[in-house]
Amino acid sequence: MHNTIRPTDGLDEEQTLLESAMHNLRSLHAQATPNSDEEAIAHRMLEQLGENTRNMVMSCLSTLRNLIEGPTPFPITEDDWPTTKLKLVEVIYAEYLHDLTLTTAGTKIHVKEFGRYLLNKYIRSLVSQGKPVEHFRNFGMLFFDVNDLKALIDCTSHENGTNFLRTIAQLFVSDTSTTRQWLSGQGILATPLTAGGDEFIILLRSQQALSQDVLDEAVIRFQSEVSSSEELSSFVNFKDPSVRDKCGNIKLPDTFTPSMAGGGALLSDAVCTAESYGKLSPAAIGNTFYDARLSIFDTLEKSAELGEQFDKQAFKLRRSIENPDMDIWAKRNRENQELAAYNQELRQEINELKRNMSIVIRISEEMREQVQSLLTTQDMDTERAKNILHAVDECMTEQIQLLASM
Q: pLDDT digit string (tens) for 126-153?
A: 998 999 999 999 999 999 999 999 999 9
Identify each DSSP E strand in 34-115 by its residue range: 110-111
Condensed to tens digits (0 to 9), the pLDDT of residues 228-274 reads: 999 999 999 999 999 988 887 788 899 999 999 999 999 999 999 99
**Mean pLDDT lowest for which of 62-71, 284-293, 346-355?**
62-71
CA 156 to chain centre: 24
Residue 101's pLDDT band, with cuts at 50, 70 and 90, is confident
Residue 198 has phi, psi (to 5 degrees) of -105, 25
Question: For residue 329, what are the contacts with CB-CB under 8 A and spacing of at least 6?
Answer: 148, 151, 155, 238, 247, 250, 252, 253, 337
Query: Please, is 293 exposed, middle or buried when counting C-beta atoms within 10 Å of its C-beta (0-12, 13-18, 19+)?
Result: buried
How far apart are the C-alpha atoms of 183 and 201, rounded to whole Å? 15
Instruction: Residue 7: count other Cβ atoms within 10 Å of its Cβ.
Output: 9
Please name the amino acid found at residue 390. Answer: H
Instruction: Give, as one character, the DSSP assignment of residue 209.
Output: -
Question: Does residue 340 register a pLDDT over 70?
Answer: no
Q: What pLDDT, on a 0 to 100 scale, did the predictor assign at position 76? A: 56
In one-letter notation, the amino acid at residue 188 is I
Which among 95, 145, 93, 100 is positioned nearest to 120, based on CA atoms? Answer: 93
Sequence ranges of the domains in the chain: 11-49+97-323, 341-404
Q: How many residues does the chain have?
A: 406
- Give residue 6's pLDDT band: very low, low, confident or very high (50, 70, 90): very low
Nearest to 404 by CA among 357, 349, 352: 357
Q: Are 137 and 204 in contact (CB under 8 A)?
A: no
Distance from C-alpha of 402 to C-alpha of 192, rounded to nearest angstrom: 56
How far apart, in whole angstroms, are the C-alpha atoms of residue 282 and residue 24? 6
Inter-residue contact 115 to 180 (CB < 8 Å) = no
Higher-confidence residue: 94 or 262? 262
Which pLDDT belongs to residue 74?
52
Whole-angstrom distance between the N-terminal and C-terminal Cα of the chain? 35
CB 112 within 8 Å of CB 193: yes
Residue 103 has pLDDT above 90, yes or no: no
CA atoms 35, 37, 43, 46: torsion sign: negative
β 188-194/260-266 pair status: unpaired
pLDDT digits (tens, 9 = 90+) for 288-324: 898 999 999 999 999 999 999 999 999 999 999 999 9
Mean pLDDT for all residues in the chain: 83
Higher pLDDT, 334 or 327: 327
pLDDT tens digits for 32-57? Answer: 765 566 667 677 667 766 676 667 66
Core vs surface per residue 140-152: b (16+ CB within 10 A) or e: bbbbbbbbbbebb
- Across 379-395, average pLDDT: 66
Sequence-distant (6+) residues with CB within 8 A of 339 are 331
- pLDDT value of position 5: 47
Dihedral pair phi/psi, residue 300, rounded to 5°: -60, -45
Distance of CA 315 to the CA centre of its chain: 12
Radius of gyration of the chain (CA): 32
Three-state DSSP class for residue 208: coil
Assessment of whether the complete model's pTM goes beyond 0.95: no
What is the mean predicted confidence (pLDDT) over 379-398? 66
Phi-psi domain of 285 (left: phi exceeds 0; alpha: psi -120 through 50; beta: other)? beta
Give the least confident one: 71-80, 169-178, 327-336.
71-80
Which run of H or of E encompasses 212? helix 212-227
Average pLDDT estimate for 110-121: 89
Neighbouring C-beta atoms of residue 391, cutoff 10 Å? 11
User: What would the pLDDT profile of 164-207 be if each residue is shown by its tens digit?
Assistant: 999 999 999 999 999 999 999 999 999 999 998 899 999 999 99
Tell me the CATH number of domain 11-49+97-323, given options 3.30.70.270, 3.90.320.10, 3.40.50.620, 3.40.50.300.
Answer: 3.30.70.270
pLDDT recorded at residue 298: 96
> Phi, psi at residue 113, to the nearest 5°?
-60, -30
Kindly state the percentage of the chain with pLDDT values over 70. 71
